[in-house]
Structure 1
Amino acid sequence: MQITDATTAPATDDVVIADGETLPWERDLLTLFVQNQIRVVLALPFFAALFALMTLQWTPWQQSLAWFASALGCQIIQYVLCRLYLRAQPKKSQFTEWLGILSASEFLAAACWSTPLFLLWNNASDLQHVYIVASLIAMVAARIMISANFMPIIIAGTGLMTFALALRCLTETGYLYAGLGALAIGCQIFFVLVARKLQETARDMLIFKAQKEELVTKLMAERDRSEIARAEALREKLRAEEASKAKSQFLATMSHELRTPLNAILGFSEIIGREMFGRHEVAAYKNYANDIHDSGSYLLSLVNDILDLTRIEAGRRDLNAEPLVVAETLEDVRNFVSFKLTEKSQTLDFDIPANLPKVMADRRAVRQIWINLLSNAAKFSPNGGRIGVRVRQRDSGEISVSVIDNGPGMPEEEIATAMEAFSRGSLAVKKAVDGAGLGLPIVKGLITMHGGSFVLRSKPGLGTEATVIFPAARVMSGPRAGVVSEPAAATPSQRKLIAITG
């Protein structure tokens, strides 16, 4: 899994820069790593702060604070180096030098993250040791996601952390530490293999895109070329599209495989948190297990979002259409997001006309659309804010569902960016609002699969209005709606028949 899509970087097999010098595709992969590093500049310090806060349960605050300060310093160094790299646009002769500098910064960060195994270890219990190891394995997974485009940087960073984990476990006795050491090594091998495949995919994408762009440029400069050149351009375009589809399919498969170790972490942490093998003598142990479970759940939700998005892009997301009452689906989701609303004392109001026709849609997809939109509205609305949901049937027969919040809004020029995967508005970055920028692209992809559309309107200081529009072809109007509304038409076979005949 990689955070930045290969198609967004300078995609060239040999990139020509201002002075006429050419750079190989390795430079583009290194640029992808730098862009990924900048995009997560706020996420990693947050994780470090959470880890340091938890260690206060058994470690003097001076040690925890010193470690957090060093981790933050390493992150700042990496961020500054990445900014300098993008500003410098290094030449071919400087590529090796910059690769060494960035690898050294990754090695320094890995060394900092390895120090808790020795600095914060001695006063900890067995369960706290498990917490430290699990947190570092999660950090290894995060660093591989960020550095998946370039293997030397992966080895420089995660290799050191895994070696430190294995070394620490070897110094302890018991099957628990032997298992933890084996788990760390196994996860490292698995993650490196996945990263290697991702790097090969990104490299192929860069080469294919470079070939396509080269042909398109030649066609624009020489429009009187023969039909043979036109046919060749078409073949190269098809190859590039097939490569893009193969990338999406590969990412979907790899995201699915990444869930296996995450589910194991979640399962064991839940067992510990529920005290299924006996009550903990120290109450804090239960909190540690819950922290592990929450961190793993967040990472799993990110993987699931990427899996959903790649399935939509690859056309592998199937729709199981059935007649749905829009009001009922919204009420169902209201209960799901009620906890978030209560936390910030927010109010959710529904404006839904009576006797609204049903829509033929996939229940799971519609539920996911409402959850993403309402969660976004709750996330950006202030404490005590109001969120409104307005449903209307247009004269054209379409049904529109609008989620309106009174949050800070966003500039119009950022709306198009917000609809792209892994893109976040300036406000979300400035205020460190959690999220990976996948919610709105997933909403757009799901409603597009229904033949509908998604419109986002926002102005700074006036809030945001997100509107999902179901096409008239999916609205159960006329005699068909009457049949569906009858109790006798409630069986799955009857609903499928109605959907087919409609």
Structure 2
Amino acid sequence: MSDLTVEMVQRGRGPSTEEAARRLGVARDIRSAREKLTSRSGLERAFEQELLRHYAQYRSGSGIALSLFAMALAVAATYWAPLVVTAAWALCVLLMITLNSVIGRRFLAAAPERIDLARWRRRFVAGEVLQSLSWSAMIALGDTGGWTFALFGLVIAAAVTTMLAATVPAAAVAALLPLSIATVSLTVFSSSMDSLMLVAMAGGTQIFFLGLSRRLYASTVGALHSRAEKDAVFGELEQAKANSDEARRRAEEANLAKSRFLATMSHELRTPLNAILGFSEVMKNEVFGQHNCPSYREYSTDIHDSGMHLLNLINEILDLSRIEAGRYELNEEPVLLANIVEECRHMMALRAKAKGQIVHDMVDTTLPRLWADERALRQIVLNLLSNAVKFTPPGGEIWLRVGWTTRGGQYLSVRDSGPGIPEDELGTVMSSFGRGALAIKTAEQGSGLGLPIVKGLVELHGGQFQLASRPREGTEVIVTLPATRVMDTLLPETFDDPAPQPAAKAARQVSRAA
């Protein structure tokens, strides 16, 4: 069977965050390309509909302004043409403006999912052509002397039309074509060089307006792209938030199930362990008489030691679970850190002596008391000393320091002359059940929970945990407790006798005289 690789493990856990984001982006690009293939304009359906909606809003909202402009031109045109003719022209223009406004409002009122974009686009193009034809009727003023007025009227109409129809390029071109033809046809009424130059300038102006409408169309499409990307990002964030909330809910449920499981298993395991430890201790100590076979005593000792190891492992798992769940309650009281360290050093002295290790203690015995949990501090010191003794080779040295910090707190430092921990394994040894390569190679007994428990207990006290280690230079662990937990020693109060009052002093003097 082939070895299990990191890639196989990662595939089993599911795609990473980067992979999920990449897949989401690819799916979005494929969907966008599919919509573009089914579109005549090369844009997504949502963009096409939004552009038509902009056009409809512009047309329906500009009806009043265009009507006033048409009536103003009609009034001015009465200077060259009869009132009946200008009124008929103005009525025709007003009808076309109203028609386009009605078409735009109907488009805005239609349900988005039922809109046939191609058909509505054809309606808008037809409406623009009809309206431009009505504006182009101003060329009749050229025969009555209003040639220049008609030319500039056509230029203004072309500017307004191309700007309003910019979001639908086909409509802008269809609207500009009749106006351009009408502008060129004005040369029939005047063939002078000045007239030709004015017509050429007007034609160039209309072409410029067409180019400007294309720029407006491109900027509108760019704005739609930006808004679509922003909406996509917001959608992804909302989806990620929903996934995060769901994952947190599942994690909370799993944590609750884990707590219930540990509580149940601790009770179920401790009940038989009490019998195992009790009876094995009786058998080990040969309370009811010596064993016929000496091996039975060794077996009893092994059973008792294994049971104690299992009990300690259960206690460590429960302690770590309570710390991670924030349910570890500190039983705080005034304690002396120096005394706790001395007691723990005395407990570990036999193990250190058995391996020929030298423990150097530099403890400041004048330190004041700490407001802390004595059991937690004892567990911290024992775990650190136990690790130092365990991983320091025979004949090595261990340095134990306790003193003041620069900020008024107290610290505990445990340093050994062991082989040290590689930098890439520091995160492993600080994780739950994590064991370094040295512990695995030497088959040192342990659960890998010592340092995580120490770090959790230190943080519960508001302190800091530091681990520094380099290969072949040893390991040092520094635990710092804040100054807020140091109990200052109170000075004894002195009660001075009050000064004698003048009346009492006079009474004593009278008494002496008597």
TM-score, normalised to structure 1, is 0.51
Unmatched tracts of structure 2, length 5 or more: 26-231, 494-514
1:224 corresponding residue in structure 2: 234
Separation (CA, whole Å) in 2 of partners of 1:331 and 1:358 = 15
For the residue of structure 2 that corresponds to 1:225, the secondary structure is: helix
Matching of residues 185-334 of structure 1 within 5 Å: 222-225=232-235, 229=239, 232-233=242-243, 235-253=245-263, 254-334=265-345
Unmatched tracts of structure 1, length 5 or more: 1-80, 96-205, 487-502
Separation (CA, whole Å) in 2 of partners of 1:231 and 1:424 = 35
Query: What displacement does 1:211 show?
Result: 12
Q: Larger C-alpha radius of gyration, 1 or 2? A: 2
Deviates more, 1:359-368 or 1:407-416: 407-416
Separation (CA, whole Å) in 2 of partners of 1:428 and 1:211 = 33
Query: What displacement does 1:357 show?
Result: 2.4
**Structure 1 residues 416 and 215: alpha-carbon distance in aligned structure 2, compared to 1, 3 A threshold:** closer
1:438 corresponding residue in structure 2: 449
Query: What displacement does 1:263 show?
Result: 2.4
**Structure 1 residues 226 and 282: alpha-carbon distance in aligned structure 2, compared to 1, 3 A threshold:** closer
- Equivalent residues of 1:399, 1:469 under 8 A apart: yes
Q: Counterpart of 1:482 in structure 2: which amino acid?
A: L
Q: Counterpart of 1:471 in structure 2: which amino acid?
A: P
Q: Counterpart of 1:331 in structure 2: which amino acid?
A: E
For the residue of structure 1 that corresponds to 2:361, the secondary structure is: strand
**Structure 1 residues 466 and 87: alpha-carbon distance in aligned structure 2, compared to 1, 3 A threshold:** closer
Pair 1:84-2:3 in alignment: yes
Query: What displacement does 1:87 show?
Result: 7.2
Q: Deviations over 1:316-361 (max 9, x none)?
A: 2210011111110001111211121111011212112342222111
Identity rate, percent:
44
**Structure 1 residues 296 and 409: alpha-carbon distance in aligned structure 2, compared to 1, 3 A threshold:** same
- Equivalent residues of 2:338, 2:365 under 8 A apart: no
Alignment partner of 1:465 out of 476, 480, 497: 476
- Equivalent residues of 1:219, 1:225 under 8 A apart: no
- Equivalent residues of 1:215, 1:233 under 8 A apart: no
Aligned residues: 286
Separation (CA, whole Å) in 1 of partners of 2:272 and 2:15 = 38
Separation (CA, whole Å) in 1 of partners of 2:16 and 2:262 = 25
Query: What displacement does 1:286 show?
Result: 1.9
Q: Deviations over 1:462-487 (max 9, x none)?
A: 1000011111221223xxx327x99x
Q: Counterpart of 2:256 in structure 1: which amino acid?
A: A
Query: What displacement does 1:459 show?
Result: 0.6
Alignment partner of 2:355 out of 341, 344, 347: 344
Q: Counterpart of 2:490 in structure 1: which amino acid?
A: G
Separation (CA, whole Å) in 2 of partners of 1:236 and 1:212 = 17
- Equivalent residues of 1:216, 1:233 under 8 A apart: no
For the residue of structure 2 that corresponds to 1:323, the secondary structure is: strand
Pair 1:407-2:418 in alignment: yes
Q: Counterpart of 2:248 in structure 1: which amino acid?
A: L
2:403 corresponding residue in structure 1: 392
Matching of residues 102-181 of structure 1 within 5 Å: none
Separation (CA, whole Å) in 2 of partners of 1:283 and 1:306 = 35
Separation (CA, whole Å) in 2 of partners of 1:91 and 1:447 = 34
1:102 corresponding residue in structure 2: none
- Equivalent residues of 1:360, 1:476 under 8 A apart: yes
- Equivalent residues of 1:344, 1:384 under 8 A apart: yes
1:55 corresponding residue in structure 2: none
**Structure 1 residues 227 and 409: alpha-carbon distance in aligned structure 2, compared to 1, 3 A threshold:** closer
1:482 corresponding residue in structure 2: 490
Q: Counterpart of 2:255 in structure 1: which amino acid?
A: K
Query: What displacement does 1:229 show?
Result: 4.4
- Equivalent residues of 1:457, 1:465 under 8 A apart: yes
**Structure 1 residues 211 and 262: alpha-carbon distance in aligned structure 2, compared to 1, 3 A threshold:** farther
Query: What displacement does 1:282 show?
Result: 2.9
After the TM superposition, list the runs of 4 or more consecutive aligned residues in structure 1 that deviate by more than 6 angstroms.
210-216, 218-221
- Equivalent residues of 1:212, 1:237 under 8 A apart: no
Separation (CA, whole Å) in 2 of partners of 1:227 and 1:85 = 35
CA RMSD of aligned residues (A): 3.3
**Structure 1 residues 238 and 281: alpha-carbon distance in aligned structure 2, compared to 1, 3 A threshold:** closer
Q: Deviations over 1:221-275 (max 9, x none)?
A: 6422288647634532430341343144135312343222222222221122222
Separation (CA, whole Å) in 2 of partners of 1:260 and 1:215 = 48
Separation (CA, whole Å) in 2 of partners of 1:443 and 1:229 = 38
Q: Counterpart of 2:483 in structure 1: which amino acid?
A: A
Q: Deviations over 1:379-415 (max 9, x none)?
A: 1111121111112312212221110101110112211
